[in-house]
Structure 1
């Protein structure tokens, strides 16, 4: 068999679906830096009709629930659905790498999860400080739309705000 035939056959094999999934997984794992920037991840690709509890059930089925201490799935209240992204904080650097490997590339309802480092806020303390005074924590907001704190996989009360919270405003469509 000639070299050009081998190369053509290899490229044909890479076109099959399984090879595509493997290639995408390898590409995403290349995104893991040699120095881990923190413990907070943003995972894209969750079904839009899912909310935080759905994500928690899935994470639990994957054996990861005890690895996280924070979860927040932003929601579009006008449309009554999530944006398909979820923020996680892992309990340690080792756990964040484990979460990345378990979640990245998973398929859920025809969508592939894509894991990225959260770029604006890293770590549990910073997440608590960011969200405790957000309007999303107002008493008028349902508990399952708020960021969740977890200890050993169980819900933990969020620390109280340090200032008066305003009720969230819904923006008109298209703004």
Structure 2
């Protein structure tokens, strides 16, 4: 299993901020899918994200780094929890899930897409 769910992210975190965090913590090139769902009406994140790692051997390192993580770029008291995604596992499954999703519509900004 390679797809993880990060819970308790700051709601004002963006996908780009999360990608920067992943890279800063040593995971650049170690993931091939990141999706941070957004509440379009409020214009903020829902407080969780899905990350697919390129190899299952990275899961333990990822969990050690981000489970109980609280050193956010923004001021918040949120503490991250990392679990396996219950729904989809792997890049192909995630692509299949979101390929025809409304979030992929051309009118949706790239920053909100997986």
SS of structure 2 residue aligned to 1:144: helix
Equivalence for 2:5: 42
Which of 36, 43, 68 is the matching residue for 1:73? 36
Question: 1:133-148 alignment to 2 at 5 Å?
Answer: 133-147=100-114
SS of structure 2 residue aligned to 1:47: coil
CA distance in 2, matches of 1:68, 1:141: 23
SS of structure 1 residue aligned to 2:26: coil
1:57 aligns with 2:31: no
CA distance in 2, matches of 1:80, 1:103: 25
1:9-33 deviation digits (Å, cap 9, x = unpaired): xxxxxxxxxxxxxxxxxxxxxxxxx
Contact 1:89 1:96 in 2 (8 A): no
Equivalence for 1:115: 82
Which one has more relative contact order, counting CA pairs under 8 Å at least 6 apart?
2
CA distance in 1, matches of 2:47, 2:61: 21
Where structure 2 has 5 or more consecutive residues not aligned to the other structure, the ranges are: none
Q: CA RMSD in A?
A: 0.9
1:126 aligns with 2:93: yes
Q: TM-score, normalised by structure 1?
A: 0.61
Structure 1 moving runs of 4+ over 4 Å? none
Contact 1:48 1:81 in 2 (8 A): yes
TM-fit CA distance, 1:97: 2.0
1:70-97 deviation digits (Å, cap 9, x = unpaired): 0000000000100010100000010122
Where structure 1 has 5 or more consecutive residues not aligned to the other structure, the ranges are: 1-37, 148-175
Higher-Rg member (1/2):
1
